[in-house]
Amino acid sequence: MTTSEGRRPGTTAASGTPLAHKRLKALLELPLLIAAALVITLVVKAFLAQAFFIPSASMHPQLLEGDRVVVHRGDIVVFPSPAVPAEKEGIVMRLAHDVLESVALRDPGDRELIKRVIGLPGDTVEGRDGHVFINGRRLFEPYLTGDVVTSDFGPTRVPEDHVFVMGDNRTNSHDSRFSDIGPIDIHTIVGRAIARVWPPTRTAFL
């Protein structure tokens, strides 16, 4: 039996390939496409950039709750909180969480923090008279608003391979000034925030 155009039912006009065969081929390719997307996501996260959800007010006014940033290695840094024990997860669950966090669809909560690097390895960091002092000299901080006052702390010497981090919102930031956070091992740093990408009305380089 043929149609009025001379084709057998269930075939395409161009090649005569059965439509069912094309559908089956698409179904077989779908898992490969999903796997490729997962690999690309993880590679981008590990070597290029990663989106992070801003969960708290500790970086006001530069970063607000709900903003998202893309991170590379460097200045305003993202790192796992030393104060929060690492979750015990299976490989599949950890992979799923990594993928969701890498595209900013999962909030890591307090497990990951974003702060500004203040002291480098070997520096002595101190808070006094409302300001930060590095090795006895007042630190110039143009990124802070004029009403920010830093509480007294230290002096604290930053160990080798560590950095001293603080939030820009000094009165509402859990950072290296606290004993459960302390200086951060540079090997645990995920990367540096270079741009705010969400919401669209607040996109900007940091």
Active site residues: 58, 115
Q: How far is Cα 69 from Cα 52, in angstroms, rounded to an integer? A: 5
What's the token pair of residue 19?
A: 């439509």
| Strand, coil or helix: 189 | coil
37 to each of 33, 91, 111, how far by Cα in Å?
Answer: 6, 18, 25
Give DSSP secondary structure letters for 143-173: TS-TT--BPPEEEEEPPTTEEEEE-SSGGG-
H-assigned helices in 44-181: 91-102
Q: How far is Cα 11 from Cα 90, in angstroms, rounded to an integer? A: 46
> Is residue 166 within 8 Å of residue 183, measured between CB atoms?
no
Q: Find residue 150's DSSP bridge partners.
A: 130
What's the token pair of residue 94?
A: 């950890």
